Amino acid sequence: MEALLEPVFLFKLNPFFTSKTACSVHCPNLPSKPLLVTTSCALTPSPSPLLPQDSDRNPLQLSPDRTRDRRKVVRIAWEKLVRWSRSWRSKAKTDVLERTKKVVVLGGGSFGTAMAAHVANRKAQIEVSMLVRDPAVCQSINENHCNHKYFPDHKLPENVTATSDAKTALLGADYCLHAVPVQYSTLFLEGIAEHVDPSLPFISLSKGLELNTLRMMSQIIPQALKNPRQPFIALSGPSFALELMNKLPTAMVVASKDKKLAGAVQQLLSCSHLRISTSRDVTGVEIAGALKNVLAIAAGIVEGMNLGNNSMAALVAQGCSEIRWLATKMGAKPATITGLSGTGDIMLTCFVNLSRNKTVGVRLGSGEKLEDILSSMNQVAEGVSTAGAVIALAQKYNVKMPVLTAVARIMDSELTPNKAVLELMSLPQVEEV
């Protein structure tokens, strides 16, 4: 019986008070509720070793010994990280860069130009040929070594040239960087297919979904070239062309089902200011890159309407969830959606004003018409055309996407931004998933 009644006290008496104290006593071997015991205790306050006695002392200030210990732990952790990094770099291969003689870039837009300059700077002996359709841009690159349309103040390396002739551009190329907007890619690729080597690796810089077919670039490129085995790599991640041109630190992802090919492209592109991670999740990288443009329009609308930071955070968080729901239904890995090509790209596109898609949203939220906005832009905002395709894809996979659906409705002029906000705020309040 004594064992049955052995109490376990679930409290500590406060030594700074003298009072009748109610405490809970639990008898572990009895099924009954804890007993409530009232005791009268008179305790003499005693100095607590856990609390500072000097009221003027900063409670967050560590003693000199503890400060030294903490700094030692941090220093050791950093030194281990540096040693690991140096060991890894010493084993890194450079054979891909050494044997690469020519890279072709399809498209003369801002990102294509930035990547052309980046590859050319990797090695002076690499020939970088840009295939562009605008004669003025072509002339500007060849004569003045700059793309006057997008980067008039940036000099391109001497080994970057431009041409409007597909055969000349593609002849002898080791790698191809595809920077043509998604909606124009099929027609463009069909026009140059006869000059493309069947083993030429295509590195896609384009983000989006083809409107009528819902295809991603990993599907568009091999089908347009009529070669299902055309090597394909998706390059994505938080990267503005201007910052690449200025050689600011950037991190991106190359995704390919061919691990060896992804590693080769990583070697080709990575340098001191550009980190390249590899992935086999092509679907996750592509779908995140496509959907983040639509979410950026929604973020811009919130900013244009001056709805505040709370609204912005809530909207982007909801949008991230919607992208994850659809991507995982399509076979993507959740880790991809929370990585560089997912959350990383979303943060950049939604929160920074250099984003074309966010700019469209800001102007829509400020009351401008979509037609006027698009006619005033000299670059393509992929999110505008992708929005409708995203919703069709969501219906195909039976995924509810309220925020991105609202953007598509606004793009179709069937919903105003004000009405969209009211509808979204009136949605059922359900458990977060």
CA atoms of 237 and 254, how far apart (whole Å):
9
Local structure of 67: helix, strand or coil: helix
406 touches 423 (CB < 8 A): yes
102 contact partners, CB below 8 Å, separation of at least 6: 126, 127, 128, 129, 172, 173, 174
- Name the CA dihedral angle for 254, 259, 264, 267, rounded to a multiple of 10 degrees: 60
CA atoms of 204 and 20, how far apart (whole Å):
74
Reply yes or no on whether 292 is catalytic.
yes
Beta strands in 42-158 (DSSP E): 102-106, 127-131
Catalytic-labelled residue, pool 149, 207, 292, 358: 292
Q: Take residue 48 and report the two structure tokens written for it.
A: 């607590």
Of 404, 196, 385, 202, the residue nearest 292 (C-alpha): 404
Helices 417-425 + 282-304 axis angle, to 10:
110
Residue 283: strand pairing partners: none
In this structure, how many other beta carbons lie within 10 angstroms of the beta carbon of residue 426? 8
CA atoms of 240 and 252, how far apart (whole Å):
11
287 touches 330 (CB < 8 A): yes
406 contact partners, CB below 8 Å, separation of at least 6: 298, 415, 420, 423, 424
110 touches 117 (CB < 8 A): no
CA atoms of 211 and 208, how far apart (whole Å):
9
Residues with catalytic roles: 292
